[in-house]
Every structure is written in C-alpha cells, then in structure tokens.
Amino acid sequence: MKKILFVCTGNSFRSAVAEALLKKIRGDIHVESTGTQPASKIASNAKRLLEEEGALENLKEGPEGIEQKNLEEYDLIVVMKEHHKNEILQRHPQVKGKILVWDIDDSIYLPAGSDREVLQEIKRRVEELAESI
C-alpha cells in the first residue's frame, strides 16, 4: 500500500484538508498529514468546507508535528510550499527524491473568503494525484 504524507506549516488547514480529501477518494492509500509548526487545533473553516465536500469524517482529530513522523516510510511527501521542502531537507536530506511541491498559499495570509479557493486548488491537485497513483 502506498503511503503519502501532506505537509504544511500548522497542519490545521492545507495538509489536513488534502489528507481528508485523498482519503475520501482513495481509501486504498495510507494518507497522513503533518505540520512543520503544528497549530493547537484544526481550523474551523477546514471543518466547514470539508463538511460541504462530504469529507469531514476523514478529517483528523488534531494537528501533528513533523518530528512525530518517520519520513523515510512514505512513498511521497507533498509539501504546500518550497520552504516546507527546505525545512524537511535540513533535517532529512535522504528523502529529497520523495518530495513534491504544490505551491499552495496559506489562506490565513490571503483575503477573507480565500479559504474556499485554496480548498478548490487542493481538491484539484488531490484528484490529479489520486488518478496518477
């Protein structure tokens, strides 16, 4: 079974949403998510948007930190921004060939209402990924 890890900063929106959406589409894949600086809880807008997508049941309980994961056990590590890749490679240079950068901005730093656009971008990327593996 393939193992995929999604990574963002807080593991409260982008990576957690990607994990929930991929789990909904491909139950045959082991999917997890993590953050380089985990937040204290999953974002409420992530819960609301995933409920609209029918994927709320696939959302994890709470954010996790990257140090809780053994990165070598994943077949693919999808990071939301280049700086996440750089942070991982500083600590785990051996996983360089497994990292894919999606370049998806954090909705916290975007105008109000951008969270829905970010979710749609994540959903599009997740659907492409689900078809390719």
| Boundaries of domain holding 42 | 3-132
Tokens for 36?
A: 């380089």
Average pLDDT over residues 63-87: 96
Number of C-beta neighbours around residue 88 at 10 A? 22
Type of residue at 103: D
Q: Closest by alpha carbon to 46, among 57, 59, 33?
A: 59
Q: What is the CATH number of the domain that holds 83?
A: 3.40.50.2300
Q: What is the pLDDT of residue 71?
A: 96
Per-residue pLDDT of 39-62, as tens digits, reads 999 999 999 999 999 999 999 999
Instruction: Report the chain's mean pLDDT, rounded to a whole number.
Output: 95
Instruction: pLDDT band for 112, please (50, 70, 90 cuts).
Output: confident
User: Distance (Å, rounded) from C-alpha 130 to C-alpha 26?
Assistant: 7
CB–CB of 33/15 below 8 Å? yes
Total number of domains constituting the chain? 1
